[in-house]
Chain A
Amino acid sequence: MHDHMSYCNRCMYPAVAVNLSVDDEGICSSCRVAEEFEKLTPEFWEKRRLRFEKTIEEIRKTNKSDYDCLIPVSGGKDSYFQTHMMAAEYGLKPLLVTYHGNNYLPEGDFNRDHMRHAFDADHLVFGPSVEVLKKLNRLCFRKMGDMNWHAHCGIMTYPIQIAIKFKIPLMMWGETAWDISGMYEPDDFVEFSARMRHEHALRGYEWYDMLNDPQEPLREKDLSWAKYPSDEEILSVGVRGLYIGNFFKWDPNQHSRMVQEKYGWKAADRPFERTYRTMSNLDDRYENGVHDLLKFIKFGYGRASDHASKDIRTGYMDRARGIEMVRKHDHVVSQDLYYWLNYVSMSEDEFWATADRFRDPRVWWIEDGQWWKDNIWGQASAYGSVHLPKESWQKYFRR
């Protein structure tokens, strides 16, 4: 067990961040991979482009569908970039597929519905029953401290179901996971996989883990959209999911400028409470809000740490400014908490009592009835009162 929070010497990530490993020089795997990416030259990206063209040509040879590819989209800036590449740059006919988890912000609604105006593309939007979604929100919050499990699951499952139904062998995903935790490198050409989906997006839970809950009764037929297809079905169409970020330089700041200018995509018109960025996660009101607050509650870092780390790696921000952003935003209890509590009819007391069950003792300790943690600026501070029953405080005592 770690005694204190330790941080990457370069970005904002604590060593406890998901999947991260910190090397002997104190630099995290995300920064190392980003370093590799920064070294890449225009010639390199030119070779990548050729490889991309060859690969999609190869896959398209087996295509028995009228659609050239399927693009899973939320309507965010990345969705626009993916669709821009496939439809505008390559002149392909994509089928856009959206999982609608009923969490959209108004700007996100506009951006999503604007896609088939902006591109020559058909668009399929699927949303589960809102009753089912409310049950899943509450159930998964209590089970794993994440009300948005349904969204991770829907986004990673529904598109491949449709790829098989429409016999489309090519799914075009966006960014690779390298930026998040440095799991893979450019040369790995990692593809979309059931294992990544199951372990990292779905946290090791599947639809069948959601059945038989006495508080939130759900039936198998409520969750058909959450079932991952079998290997036989996938191989019968030959579905592969490529990440466009493996082939074209991924620069979210630049992409959002481009899609605003070219396609009328809209950023949020007011800032979020938990991050300084206005261009990320508009498809989900909780992603920058209470969903992310739970990450802070669990692991002691939040969306501002994520965004500042990325912006430090791409040179948009220095470390001092990053720390300032983390200080300002990481811990904020955002207003969407009350929107969510109202949506799922839960009391604030139940929220805090449940959330506190997920505090990681590697990060948090209890002193004077308060939650304490070490900060990246080198001091410990308290972040609110403890809502756990006294008998479970023991594992959080340090001295």
Chain B
Amino acid sequence: MKKKRLIPVLLLRNGWLVQSKQFKRYQNLGNPVSAVKRLSEWASDELIYLDITRDNSYDMRRDDLGHPNRHSILDIIDDVSKVAFMPITVGGRIRTLQDIEQRLALGADKISLNTAAIDNPQFVEAAAREFGSQCIVVSIDVRLDGEAYRVVTKGTSQVTDHTPEDWAGRVEQLGAGEVLVNSVDRDGMKNGYDLDLLDRVARRVRIPVIACGGVGDWEHLADALEQTDVDAVAAANIFHYSDQSVYLAKKYLHERGLNVRPADLLAI
């Protein structure tokens, strides 16, 4: 049986690796590359690398460090792919087929679309036709609006009419190969995934669903794998709080009898 995947998500904002709370509070953690090396060494199944920069500025604001201070996303992706010994999905600020091509040429294995897909759904189709569905992930950010789930985009500034399950169904038809479902309300809150949300989306589509948003404990990863049909569990902040985090998370899931690869370390 196909293994379930455990996927760390790294967030890049203005050249910094950050942690995020509810899509509105950001804390700078460090440079955008050394974390990737660690996640590789801990044998992560994959990596999702999202650029959530609002303007076009990438600057760590100092030049006296042992690692370079890069000023463009493409330079950063180039550095990242040199230390990533796992498949990488790169997302954020992708608007054209050329944007996709550049990222793939620099070593990305997949790309993820969010705003571009909402603004122009045909773009998903064009991208899938050009590069293959296996390489197109659609990222779906969801917020609870009263009782109803709504897809939001452009950070959270635009609330769409789409429900997450309808939107996931739509992008599946358009040729997306996977969907990444993130709950804005749970982002950085450590209170567990929104399992109802994940369940709705996972029931609707046949393509793999990646869960994201709210993990505060390894147990939360298990909850999603045990109680919903998601194919992968992703998380961001928690992997920065301790060393060997991915290894320890995998060990936990494996020992709990879940269908994940056993914990491993890579010597790089």
A327 to chain B, nearest CB (A): 24
**B59 contacts A by Cβ under 8 Å:** yes
Q: Name the one of A21, A199, A240 contacting B242, with C-beta atoms under 8 angstroms.
A: A240
**B30 contacts A by Cβ under 8 Å:** yes
Known: A195-B243, A199-B34, A202-B66. A231 touches B28 (CB 8 A): no
Residue of B nearest to A360 (CB): B62
Contact A234 B243 (CB under 8 A): yes
Contact B59 A1 (CB under 8 A): yes
Residues of A within 8 A of B242 (CB): 190-191, 193, 240
Residue of A nearest to B37 (CB): A195
**A209 contacts B by Cβ under 8 Å:** yes
With A192-B243, A231-B265 already in contact, 11 other A-B pairs whose C-beta atoms are closer than 8 Å:
A29-B28, A146-B64, A188-B241, A194-B38, A195-B240, A203-B64, A203-B65, A205-B66, A231-B244, A232-B265, A299-B62
A144 to chain B, nearest CB (A): 5
Residues of B within 8 A of A230 (CB): 267
Whole-angstrom distance between the alpha carbons of A187 and B64 in the complex? Answer: 32
**B2 contacts A by Cβ under 8 Å:** no
Contact A188 B237 (CB under 8 A): yes
User: Chain A binding site: helix, strand, loop or mixed by DSSP?
Assistant: loop
Contact B66 A203 (CB under 8 A): yes
Q: Name the one of A1, A189, A358, A362 contacting B64, with C-beta atoms under 8 angstroms.
A: A358
A225 to chain B, nearest CB (A): 19
Q: 0/1 per residue, B6-40, Cβ < 8 Å to A?
A: 00000000001001000001111111001100100
B35 to chain A, nearest CB (A): 6
Q: Which residues 131-173 in B have Cβ within 8 Å of A in the complex?
A: none
A252 to chain B, nearest CB (A): 22
Residues of B within 8 A of A264 (CB): none
Known: A193-B242, A195-B38. A209 touches B66 (CB 8 A): yes
Residues of B within 8 A of A362 (CB): 61
Whole-angstrom distance between the alpha carbons of A205 and B62 in the complex? Answer: 15
B262 to chain A, nearest CB (A): 14
Whole-angstrom distance between the alpha carbons of A360 and B241 in the complex? Answer: 31
A217 to chain B, nearest CB (A): 20
Residues of B within 8 A of A346 (CB): none
Q: 0/1 per residue, A175-192, Cβ < 8 Å to B?
A: 000000111110111111
Contact B241 A231 (CB under 8 A): no
**B190 contacts A by Cβ under 8 Å:** yes
Contact B28 A198 (CB under 8 A): no
Known: A202-B66, A203-B65, A204-B66. A21 touches B243 (CB 8 A): no
Q: Name the one of B27, B41, B190 contacting A187, with C-beta atoms under 8 angstroms.
A: B190
Whole-angstrom distance between the alpha carbons of A8 and B64 in the complex? Answer: 23
Contact B30 A200 (CB under 8 A): yes
**A62 contacts B by Cβ under 8 Å:** no
Residues of B within 8 A of A235 (CB): 244, 247, 265
Whole-angstrom distance between the alpha carbons of A240 and B244 in the complex? Answer: 10
B41 to chain A, nearest CB (A): 6
Chain B CB count within 10 A is highest, among A199, A209, A234, A360, for A199
Residue of B nearest to A2 (CB): B61
**B63 contacts A by Cβ under 8 Å:** yes
Residues of A within 8 A of B29 (CB): 19, 183
Residues of B within 8 A of A19 (CB): 28-30
A24 to chain B, nearest CB (A): 10
A385 to chain B, nearest CB (A): 22
Q: Which residues 40-94 in A have Cβ within 8 Å of B in the complex?
A: none
Q: Give 23 A-B contacts (CB < 8 Å), ordered by A residue.
A: A16-B62, A23-B25, A29-B27, A144-B64, A144-B65, A145-B64, A183-B27, A184-B241, A188-B241, A194-B243, A195-B30, A195-B35, A196-B30, A198-B34, A199-B31, A199-B34, A199-B65, A200-B30, A204-B66, A205-B66, A230-B267, A231-B243, A235-B247
Whole-angstrom distance between the alpha carbons of A145 and B63 in the complex? Answer: 11
A324 to chain B, nearest CB (A): 27
Residues of B within 8 A of A298 (CB): 62, 64
Residue of B nearest to A294 (CB): B64
Residue of A nearest to B21 (CB): A185
Whole-angstrom distance between the alpha carbons of A193 and B39 in the complex? Answer: 13
